[in-house]
Structure 1
Amino acid sequence: MLRSKGLTVVDVYQGWCGPCKPVVSLFQKMRMEVGLDLLHFALAKADCLDVLEKYRGRCEPTFLFYAIKDEALAEEGECFSRVKDDGEDEDVVSSGKTCTLAIIKPDAVMHGNAEEIVMKIQETGFDILTNEERTLAEAEMRLFYQHRAGEDAFEQLLHHMCSGPSHLLILTRTEEAEDVVTAWRNLMGPCDPDVARREQPDSLRAQYGTAMPFNAVHGSQDAAAARRELLLLFPSFTFSDQGTEAAPEKSPKQILAS
């Protein structure tokens, strides 16, 4: 990540204090305005990274800036590695396959359907690169759904998406007969659960959705939307130059807590 072209901003924080959530939201907004490929933002926990030892014990915010004008100038240099409690390096989320975003929404999680939905996703031929439970913040959801800001139900949608934990999944396909974005949208079914029950009764929204906006799952509209949404919700996720194909893992491992 530190070798990415453009500007990388690292927010260094400590476990007892935690990152400043308003700053995270601000940088996400700036990334959308400047360009996802030119501005990168990550969080690094000083408590766990020996290279950040000199920043421990401070109360003031600390930001590190890395600028790469030309990728050819990037050197191996010194990089950060997030370490688990057991001392093993944690692999960066990456793959050589095309990816898309899936969200199991708060209504489905609240009704206890998340695990069953995950099983059906896997049974349908999807590979799950990551499955993270997270309560989404209003600021990031406003960016996420900014293309729907003019709709009457926009505020209701935001409230629902931030009302409780969601499951955020990065999906790939073992079988490439159908691209992963289209395959996931077909499995979800029509957006309105009532329509889904009439037209595609085996779809996830038909089985687990109730009424708009409580339709159980979200999927990216197309490849471009998948790239934007993944970069917004998974800042450390690495892409290749084409589409939503994640870049292969680099060596040495380059991991920043996100």
Structure 2
Amino acid sequence: MKPPRTAAQLEQMARKKAEAQQLQILISNDQDWENACKRTGLLVVDVYQEWAGPCSSMTGHLRRIKLELGDEFLTLAMAKADNISVLEKFRGKAEPTWLFLGCGKPLAVIHGADGPNLLATIRVLLKKEISIIKGQGEDRDVVLLESLVKPEEILEPDEDLDDVEGEMQNLEDSEEGSEAEDEPLLQAVLFILPHIISQEKTETFLSNVVAAGFEIAGHVQEEPTREQLHDLLFPPPPPVEEADGEGKEEGEEGAEEDENKEGGEEAEEGGDEEDNEGEEQEKEGDVVEDDLEEWEEKLSHGPLYMLYLKVEEGDVVAAWYQVLGPPDLEKARQEEPDSLVAQFGEEEFVVPAWLPRSRELQLRLAARFFPPPPDATVPRLLLLPDADHQEVLERMGVGGVQVLAHTQLTLQQEAIQSLPSLSASQQLASAAGSSVLAVVVAGEGMEECVQEFGPLHLSVDTASANAEVELFFPDFLASQENQDEPQTQMQIEQSKEGK
């Protein structure tokens, strides 16, 4: 009988398990770098600077690498070059940089976000590292770390450009950025308030919206919980890294400054109330920001019915608020009787529908409720329950679906959790641990054709399709560029080995 583990042993096991589940370790300073270089095996480092951030476009590739090669001798890391002295020469590089170290010794580098090349390089170097560690291989091909820095053209300032011209050029650049931010929205999400639906006014309301010149590009009805609605309107801020002690002190100082500022402003509020009222009256017709807390309360009393409105030209937000009318029921009925407020407004709910003004919120709502349909030519992932695979594939071919690759596998919980588009599915969660048929499919009318097979999952948009296909069929997209015949997973693996 084994003796019981001590508390220290249990803590060490928990720490190792947490590290194994972490996609990339974070290297923030010289001490972290030294500790990482002491790890046995292959260390793959995404070198970045704080102003640019790590290479987020490669996250899907890294998840596949972790799932496929998740070896104990492989460590994926992110290193912030700003605070690491040995990486000083890697600062100021806009292109992603991936360093490969074997037991802390520099081996190679990849410049750019090249997923297939990254995976292939890791395969080769990891195999060699394991052989060396086990005493079966030759010495490493170590290089100088400085030799892995990519030389870049240095742009010298134009000496003939005087300060005035330089300032004018900066002003033009900032104006161009501002114009890009102010580009009008042609499509936007509109929330119809629950009382319009409950009083069976929806059809009449939609007729008025179309008559006003809007195209209804989509509609959906959901009944989220209050918590889900809150998270939709107020997404949590991204985590901010802070040095120990510094963030808190700065935050406390900022809070004290705000309190002092508020105290000084309160003394002036009494004398400025009349001026503020005048300014509010002047801004009454201007576009103001929405009170999200107020709208959260109004939308939480029933199911949400959302439209995706579209205009051919102009700005959909400006067009909507012109048709909506003033947010005052009596004023709308007297001055703009044809407005939506005048026709559908009530004493308790003056505005019958809400179209958020914030561009950021609109983009988030559109991605949530009206994701763009996938391109029919883009391969998508189809997961089916275990069945007679040959019969299923033949029937899909007759139905017009292009079967590009297929394999039978056990659906792992780790794979489901590795992508948001998969982890959101309750059906996939219940199928974890079971045998499934994974198929890469393409073609028109796919949704209707595959329904008869009781699909566990089918990619819903192009972005998730690419990530999902690459997760279950690594390097498939690259290998299919010049291929016409469907490939099994075995054929794909044999092709990679041949390379």
TM-score by length of 1: 0.48
More helix by share: 2
Q: TM-score, normalised by structure 2?
A: 0.27
Q: Give the structure, 1 or 2, with the largest relative contact order (CA under 8 Å, sep 6 or more).
A: 1
Q: Which is greater in Rg?
A: 2
